[in-house]
Every structure is written in C-alpha cells, then in structure tokens.
Structure 1
Amino acid sequence: MSKLETPISMVRPGQIEFGMGVAKRLGTWAEGKDVRRVLVISDAFNAERIDVLGLNGEVVVFGDVKGEPDTADLDRVLHAANGANADLIVGFGGGSAMDLAKFAAVLASSSQRLPDVVGAGKVAEPRTVALAQVPTTSGTGSEAGIRALVTDPQTKAKLAVESIHMLADIAVIDPSLTFSVPPKVTAATGIDAMAHCVEAFTNRKSHPAIDIYALEGVRLVGRYLARAVRDGQDVEARAGLSLASLYGGYCLGPVNTAGGHALAYPLGTRWHVAHGAANALIFPHVLAFNTPAVLEKTKAILEALGLAPSDDIGSVFEAAHEFCASLGIEMQLSELGVAADDLGTMADDAFAIRRLLDNNPRELSRADILSIYEAAY
C-alpha cells in the first residue's frame, strides 16, 4: 500500500481567524456564543494586555504561566479553573499557556485526574466549557492541535495527553501579537515551528495530505525567519512565521514529531532550556543523522530553507548548523549550562520516549543519542 492510500485523520479548530488585527474577533465570537464568564490562562506579560482580545463579561485571569510547566503548575491552573466556573477558557500566550488551557478545559470539574488521561484517547467525556487559543509566539502550533504536555518533576519526563476534546473551538492567530517577541526567542521558536514540519515530513508516518503543509511551513521559515529576527516589526515576516507555526500544528495531530523532539525534551525538563532553543540546537544533528533514510526529502528541506541540497551527511549538518547559528542561536550544550556528566542520563531519558523515537525514519539507539549529545556539547 502506498502512503497515498494510507488512512489518516485530520482535525482543525472549529473556526480559525488569521491575520493582522484579528485578536478582537475573539470577543465578537464569544459574544455570539453568549459567553458570560471567561478564564484567560496566560503568562505575566500577556496578562497585562488581554484587552486586545475584546472580551466582555466577567473575565478572570490566571497570569502566572511559566515555560516548561510541571504538574504543580497544572494543579494551580486547575484550582483557578474550578473557582472561575467559566463558560470559556482562553489560552493566551505560547505553547505552555495553550497546553495548560487544554488541560483546564478537560480536567476542571471532571472526575478524571491527570494520571487517568496520560496517553491517547483517555479523556472520557466531552468538555462542558468552550476553548479558545490565541498564540503570541510563532513556534508551537498548539492552537491547532489535540495534544498537551506537562512535566513530571519527579521523573523529569514529559507527560503527553492526546484527545479530540482538547481541540479548540476557535483559534485566533494575530501576527501583530508577536511583534514584542525578542530576536533570540523569535529565532528559537521559529526553528521549533520548522522542526515540527521537518519531523512530520520525514516521519515514518508521513502522509501526502500532511506533507504539503510540512514543506510549505519549512519554506515560510526559510523565507521569513531571518527577516523577523532582524526586524521584529516586519509585518510580512511575522505573518509568514505565524502561518508556518499554524502549519506545524496541522502536522502534529495526524503525524507528530520524531527523534529531534525526543532528544530536545531532556534539555528542557532537566536543564530548563527553552523548548525552541533546545530544538534548534538538536535540529542539525538529527537532520544529518536521518539523511541516509530520507535522502530526497532531506534535499527538499534544504532547498526549502534556501540552502544547497546535498546527499552528504557532513554537508547537511554544516548547512543546517549554519542556518541556525546565523540567527544567533546558541549551538553548544556546554554554553547552556548543561553538565557533561549528565549526558548519559539525558540519553536514557530521550531513549525512553518511544512515542516519538518510533516515528523516526532511522533507528536511533541509545549510543546514537549519546553521540549526538556529545557532538553538540
């Protein structure tokens, strides 16, 4: 059976608003749904600008979201959600805020708890509250997906939940909300969006219905990321990255990521490296490693980024590494405070993430993973 004939399920938020200045359409949508009580889940910065959403009625803000949230953070969000008794929950921020909003939408006032729903399809009941997602960075694509992740502080592992009940009723993507993102964060989150697309495109579960979004997402990053890093007010570049991030989100539902994300996760859970920065540092290594298994797709990725296509692993690595480094991204683990004697434990952590490693086009052994960490050190 060819991949074109392989069954695939694709879902999208019920309504998507995209473009400069569309943020206030959330308020219009909520009014049309007779929403009276709203809980906005956000970080401290975005909590100060919720007026851009045009929300009316009783609005409660949980504005203490931090990067790489753990189960204790989730407990605080659920406490706020239970108290708010909202008709609508809004994730307003980056991936952490949007993921916590998903958790709140399905777990608040539910008999289920986090351990009951970890995995795929374990959320038992449709939610009773509306869910809206408003990204303020261009990276995670969480606004379009049905997965959410939170860290277990004891095991340092990411707990992933996948459920159709986590799909937003409306996603509002306003690129103007990303103007304030600093250059380094812009670069790192842009590579995260690209990594979603690349890992879906080269995935063992890749599918032509998703490839079209994946490759176009890579092209958008190649065309616009450096421009947005140079000038955060570049309207076209910001819009291009917002679209790339959305396309990356389209890739995550039916296909998901692979080895790159598996190797990036321990950097965040153990050393609190921002998710985008971790993905950027790992990206050239895994792209090069996978090249023999997906040669033509690797060439297509390089061309989409505006780089010279090659079937040589060394050349692939050098081109991808230079692409990331030229954006000002730190490309050495040692410079991020990671201890050399922790690389083996990180390799153990990454090798255990079978839900992603099993998607990788080339088998990644623990020894391979450790070698990549050592090369990146």
Structure 2
Amino acid sequence: MLALTHPLEIQRPPIVHFGIGVLPKLGQWVTSRGFARPFIIADAVNATRLSLLGLANASCFGTVKPEPDITNLEEAVAAAEAAGADVIIGFGGGSAMDLAKLVAVIAGSGKHLHDISGPHRAPSRIAGLAQIPTTAGTGSEVGTRALITDPATQNKIATESLHMLADIAIIDPELTATVPPFITAATGIDALAHCVEAFTSRRAHPLIDDYARRGIELVGANLKRAVENGRDMEARSALALASFYGGVCLGPVNTTGGHAIAYPLGTRHRIAHGIANALIFPHVLAMNAPAQPEKTAWVCKALGFTGSTVEEIRKGALTFCEALGLDMRLRAHGVPQDDLAAMAREAHAIRRLLDWNPIDLLESDILQIYRSAW
C-alpha cells in the first residue's frame, strides 16, 4: 500500500450532476455549449427511450453490444462521422460509455483503435463528451479508460487517455429504476469489486481507500434492497453513488486479479461484464485475504458476515451473492469445463492488472479459482 505522503492525482469530469431529476441538465448543457448535432451511443434497450434526454436533432447509434468489439466500434465511429457529430453522449452501461469515449477521440481523426490503444496515445478530441449511466456498476462515466474486445485474439484492448474524460457526467438514479433484478445484482457486485480490488491493491492509497470504503458500505447496505424493490429510490441512489465511487477508485489505482480473471468470461463466452465479475468476486476476495487480512475482515463485516479462514470468507461472499438471486456457478452461464485451462492462461497474461494484485497469482491459482467457481 502506498503511504499517505505518496503523490496521487485524481481526474474527474469538471461537471458532475447527481440525484433524482438531474437528467434535464443534459439539454441545458448542450444548448449552453452551442452543440447542434448531438450523437447518442446506446444499447438496444436505451435506444428506445431517447426521448428522456430531451434533445432535438439528435442522431443515435443504438446497437452497442454487451461486450463491444472492434467491429462494433468501427460501426459507431462511421455513424458519428456521417452525422457530423459535435457532441458524443454515452447513454447506457459501461459498454455504451466506453464506446462513447473511443468514438469521441477517433471520429474525424483518421485513426483506428490500434493507433491509440494503450496509455496516453489518443488524440485530442474536438467533439464534446457527455456520459449518462443507466446502470449502477461500472463507474465508467467518471473514468479515462475504455475496453474493447479484439475478435481475432479474444482479448480486451485497453485504452487510457485524459482526452476520453467526459466534459459532464449526469447520474440520475431514476434511470436505473427499471433495471431487472438480475442485472441490478450483477452490476452492483461489479461496483463492489471495483472498490474492493482498489482497496486491497498493492498500490492502494489512503485517499482512494476512503472512496472504496464508502462504496463497499453502500453496496452492502443497499444492493439487496434494490434487487427486491426496483422502485426503492433511496437504495437505487445509494448504488449509483457506490458505482461513482468505484469509478473514482479505478482512475489512480484500478482493479487487480478479480477483473483479470473475469475478462475471459466475457471475451470467450460472451458473459456480460457485471455477472462475470460477480462470479469471480468471492473466490478472489478469499484468495487475497492472507495478504490483506485486516482490510478483508472489514469488507466481510460491511457485507454482513465474518470469516477467519479462506474458505469461510469464500462461503460468506458466495452466500451474499446468492442471496441476490445469482447462480454463482460458471457452468450455469455456459462456460465449458474443458476451457478452464485456456482461460487461466489467458487471464494470467493480463499483467497490467495482476501485477498489482495483493498476492502473486500463478496460472495454477487462477485455474483453481475457475474450478472452484465452475
């Protein structure tokens, strides 16, 4: 863990609107900035409710995939260029918002993903960028990273740039009220995983720990409430805030082993990001516990259980997730047992995350996690 004296930089959108009823702030901002050709990037569900945004003359790319790939990105870029977009608006979950970030820096630049992927290679953008989350999970609305799957390698390509930071983020929990219980549960565990992985990371920092602790508490106290009653707006608001805090954690610290191990579930088996992280979360929390015993004990308490051994922690976290209605078996989500070894090799190669995990996870350790989760 980094010391309090260690320098740390946090970057967030210069404007963040949070709370029930803040969505009309989008139209006000678009008008005040003089944007004339808004371009919305949304998944198929949110593409049916564009009227909520209150924008005139807006175009839309409404076919964002749950795990967007390079082809999906190229289609979105072409549509934005054809529309002459002067402001890009991500409207949806993490997939739509990640795609919006990349479209904002690629459209009109003549560049392709391979020209800008990695850290700090994206060009300055001319278009504005607004992010509007409709789930409480990824925290992508406040981040500078985007992930796209390469179909040729079945790996996620990460791009990071301050040029992909939104000009404005509008977080209206009312937009999450219709999210089904399963997705509410899965995305809520994703937000939890962001906070926990940053909290226990080798580069954890006291400044980020404060955000992580609060996010963990909010999920522990409110996720089951939101799953059981989607119109519980106090719980929905708490989860939206937890997701935001998780997004703040991702900037200077980021995730570790849990996300690395979850990625092959999405790229190889098309399991949505939220449930992929939920399926892995209990196992990584438990395996990392010996390296972070005090922080892990605090996490367990915030989630409503105690555990003094690795197995007790794993069972406690599994019970927490199962109480949300989640089937926590990989095989129940279409993962074949004979692919676990290949997944372990692929996950072990994601060093940008695994190098910061609190313990050194061998390929055999990752395979053990997959087998336990299967």
* TM, length-normalised to structure 1: 0.98
Aligned CA-pair RMSD: 1.0
* CA distance in structure 2 between the partners assigned to 1:288 and 1:306 by the alignment: 15
Structure 1 match to 2:335 = 338
Tell me the secondary structure at the aligned position of residue 285 of structure 2.
helix
Match of residue 182, structure 1, among 180, 183, 187: 180
| Superposition deviation, residue 313 in structure 1 | 1.0
Structure 1 match to 2:367 = 370
Question: Contact 1:291/1:311 (CA < 8 Å) preserved in 2?
Answer: no
Structure 2 match to 1:356 = 353
Identify unmatched segments of 5+ residues in structure 2: none
| 1:308-347 pair list within 5 angstroms | 308=306, 310-347=307-344
| Superposition deviation, residue 103 in structure 1 | 0.5
* CA distance in structure 2 between the partners assigned to 1:195 and 1:128 by the alignment: 34
| 1:1-377 pair list within 5 angstroms | 3-56=3-56, 58-123=57-122, 125-308=123-306, 310-377=307-374
- Report the AA paired with residue 320 of structure 1: A
| Superposition deviation, residue 311 in structure 1 | 3.1
* CA distance in structure 1 between the partners assigned to 2:110 and 2:71 by the alignment: 18
| Superposition deviation, residue 111 in structure 1 | 3.1
Question: Contact 1:81/1:104 (CA < 8 Å) preserved in 2?
Answer: yes
* TM, length-normalised to structure 2: 0.98
The alignment covers a number of residue pairs equal to: 374
- Report the AA paired with residue 132 of structure 2: V
| Superposition deviation, residue 38 in structure 1 | 0.4
| Superposition deviation, residue 300 in structure 1 | 1.1
* CA distance in structure 1 between the partners assigned to 2:58 and 2:135 by the alignment: 23
> Which digits, 9 at most, give the CA deviation of each residue in 1:192-246, with x for residues without a partner?
0000000000001110111001110000000100000000010101000000000
> Which digits, 9 at most, give the CA deviation of each residue in 1:88-113, with x for residues without a partner?
10000010000000000000111321
* CA distance in structure 1 between the partners assigned to 2:196 and 2:2 by the alignment: 21
| Superposition deviation, residue 85 in structure 1 | 1.4
Tell me the secondary structure at the aligned position of residue 148 of structure 1.
strand
Moved more, 111-120 or 217-226: 111-120
> Which digits, 9 at most, give the CA deviation of each residue in 1:276-326, with x for residues without a partner?
111111001000000000011101111222222x33111111111100011
Question: Contact 2:2/2:204 (CA < 8 Å) preserved in 1?
Answer: no
Moved more, 110-119 or 93-102: 110-119
- Report the AA paired with residue 48 of structure 2: E
* CA distance in structure 1 between the partners assigned to 2:209 and 2:83 by the alignment: 41
Question: Contact 1:28/1:54 (CA < 8 Å) preserved in 2?
Answer: no
- Report the AA paired with residue 343 of structure 2: M
* CA distance in structure 2 between the partners assigned to 1:70 and 1:348 by the alignment: 21
* CA distance in structure 2 between the partners assigned to 1:83 and 1:248 by the alignment: 35
Question: Contact 1:25/1:53 (CA < 8 Å) preserved in 2?
Answer: no
Tell me the secondary structure at the aligned position of residue 21 of structure 1.
coil
Tell me the secondary structure at the aligned position of residue 103 of structure 1.
helix
Identify unmatched segments of 5+ residues in structure 1: none
* CA distance in structure 2 between the partners assigned to 1:145 and 1:79 by the alignment: 24
Tell me the secondary structure at the aligned position of residue 160 of structure 1.
strand
| Superposition deviation, residue 2 in structure 1 | 5.5
Moved more, 190-199 or 330-339: 330-339
* CA distance in structure 2 between the partners assigned to 1:19 and 1:174 by the alignment: 5
Moved more, 317-326 or 297-306: 297-306
* CA distance in structure 1 between the partners assigned to 2:192 and 2:170 by the alignment: 20
* CA distance in structure 1 between the partners assigned to 2:241 and 2:103 by the alignment: 26
Question: Contact 1:41/1:91 (CA < 8 Å) preserved in 2?
Answer: yes
Tell me the secondary structure at the aligned position of residue 4 of structure 1.
coil
Question: Contact 2:2/2:205 (CA < 8 Å) preserved in 1?
Answer: no
Tell me the secondary structure at the aligned position of residue 362 of structure 1.
coil
* CA distance in structure 2 between the partners assigned to 1:126 and 1:271 by the alignment: 34
- Report the AA paired with residue 330 of structure 1: D
